[in-house]
Amino acid sequence: MAFDEGWYLLLGRNLFAGDGYTLAGLQHVTLSPLFPLLAGLLDLVLHDAVWAGRVVAAVSAGLLVVPCWFLFRRLS
């Protein structure tokens, strides 16, 4: 697990634990909220934040193929 991934996963877990978008009790405004939101939702189902983050990252990367395909098709 990379350094940033841990912060994202903690933000997602705190968000759904009722602590809000916080790290160490302080509001956080640096990292974007989409990945922590999705990882936090999936963590509720899987009960494993690391796997939730990996699944969200893998699905996001897989879905990135679609807009790339349209872009490359248009450029070719």
Domains of the chain: which residue ranges? 3-75
Instruction: Give pLDDT tens digits for 6-61.
Output: 999 999 999 999 999 999 888 988 889 999 999 999 999 999 999 999 999 999 99
Residue 4 pLDDT level (bands cut at 50, 70, 90): confident
Please indicate, yes or no, whether the overall pTM of this predicted structure exceeds 0.75.
Answer: yes
Please say if the pLDDT value at position 1 is more than 70: no
Kindly list the distances between the CA atom of residue 66 and the CA atoms of 3, 53, 54, 62, 71, in Å, as whole numbers in the listed order: 29, 21, 20, 8, 9
Please say if the pLDDT value at position 2 is more than 90: no
Which token pair is 70? 């349209």
Cβ–Cβ < 8 Å for 57, 51: no
Which token pair is 63? 């879905």
**Residue 76's pLDDT is what?**
87
